Amino acid sequence: MSFARPGGGRRVRVLTDVGLTVSAGEIVGIVGETGSGKTTLARAVAGLNAPDRGQVHLDGQDITGLRGRARRRLRRSGAIQFVFQDPLRSLDPALTVGASLREGLAIAGTGTRAQRAERVAAALRQVGLDPAVADRYPAQISGGQRQRASIARAVVSDPRLLLCDEPVSALDASNRNHILLLLDELRRRLSVGIVVISHDLSTLAGIADRVVVLYRGRVVEDGPIEEVFARPRHPYTALLLASAPDIHGRDRHAAARLRLAGDSAATAAAVASQPASCGFAHRCRFATDACVETPPQRALTGRAAGAWTVACHHAETWPDELAATTPQAAVSPQAAVSRKAAVSRKDPAA
């Protein structure tokens, strides 16, 4: 996926060789720092951005090449839905909540007017809202209620894939946990595949089955979330985990130990002259010549469902190198994130 520069010239490449799978009823988290391409990826999957190359398969069907009537039919079916970070972006402020929800069903030509009204009420109940909210405008309900309403709008058409872009980052801790528990419940009840984009790892630790880590538009790690959090195989994932804020007295030096010591200008210059090298090399304290000369690849061909992939030349050896410089008594930052997740699961108001 690339974008044209405003003044012309070479296009800016934003996503490269990205591949991921979301199964029915599964929650996949996508993490990465700002600008890593999370939103662009979700928009490309939803058909809101046109990628240069690649394919999107929905229930086994390649939907990338759909044109004209077939494309419109897919769009109107509401099979892929998007929940934006700011609920006001997905709810038209000039329409009542009910009208917003009915709109999608009317476009899809679903049922009679009365049946559509019943489905809207059911969708609102499903997300824990009183159906009376249907008569209010988005500005007349709270932020948490608005996010529930935008999720109701997304699930009313019974989607197969729900893409949630930072769905809780605008909410307070209590609403945040309620929304995460709601997504967890919806995937079970509706058997819908859900993608949750977040820069906050503790958000994902509570609900996601898998995590996909994006760095500069490439997937650097993809695997079962508990295992990735317990034993990250990419140095960037380890740094993300070690940098996660935590109030439970984690090892404050864990992130520092993963960072490149001293001046990284020489490595950065070497990386810049070799665009094919690992994009993380200028920040990685485990980088060697191989990292600058050859791009690390994720083994994708023929991989089994649920497999754990990583794009790092030294995935097997860097943890030992790190352990050799880590004090025995250090509290693992990964454990801190898992602990927070456990708290979130037990107590929605925590």
Ligand X SMILES: Nc1ncnc2c1ncn2[C@@H]1O[C@H](COP(=O)(O)OP(=O)(O)OP(=O)(O)O)[C@@H](O)[C@H]1O
Q: Return the percent helix, strand and coil in the chain, to nearest 5.
A: 45, 15, 45
Residue 10, exposed/middle/buried by CB under 10 A (0-12, 13-18, 19+)? exposed
Question: Which residues, including other chains, have CB under 8 Å from residue 6's CB and lie 6 or more apart?
Answer: none
Residue 235 binds ligand SF4 (CB under 6 A): yes
Query: What's the rounded Cα separation, in Å, for the pair 311 and 153?
Result: 37
* Residue 281 binding partner per list ligand SF4, ligand X, Mg ion, none, with a CB distance cut-off of 5 to 8 Å that depends on partner kind: ligand SF4
Of residues 127 and 214, the one with the C-beta less far from Mg ion: 214
| Amino acid (one-letter) located at 192 | V
Q: Which residues within the stretch 259-278 sit at the binding site for ligand SF4 (CB under 6 A)? A: 278
Query: What's the rounded Cα separation, in Å, for the pair 131 and 123?
Result: 9
Single out the residue of 109, 111, 140, 136 nearest to residue 124, CA to CA. Answer: 136
Single out the residue of 154, 166, 218, 315 nearest to residue 20, CA to CA. Answer: 218
Residue 216 binds ligand SF4 (CB under 6 A): no
Residue 313 binds ligand SF4 (CB under 6 A): yes
Mark the segment that binds Mg ion (CB under 5 A) among 38-46, 49-57, 73-81, 104-112. 38-46
* Residue 278 binding partner per list ligand SF4, ligand X, Mg ion, none, with a CB distance cut-off of 5 to 8 Å that depends on partner kind: ligand SF4
Of residues 102 and 234, the one with the C-beta less far from ligand SF4: 234
Of residues 210 and 216, the one with the C-beta less far from ligand SF4: 216
* Residue 313 binding partner per list ligand SF4, ligand X, Mg ion, none, with a CB distance cut-off of 5 to 8 Å that depends on partner kind: ligand SF4
| Amino acid (one-letter) located at 293 | E
Of residues 173 and 269, the one with the C-beta less far from ligand SF4: 269
Minimum gap (Å) between residue 322 Cβ and ligand SF4 = 11
Minimum gap (Å) between residue 313 Cβ and ligand SF4 = 4
Query: What's the rounded Cα separation, in Å, for the pair 212 and 320?
Result: 23
Of residues 196 and 291, the one with the C-beta less far from ligand SF4: 291
Mark the segment that binds Mg ion (CB under 5 A) among 31-39, 109-117, 122-130, 186-194. 31-39
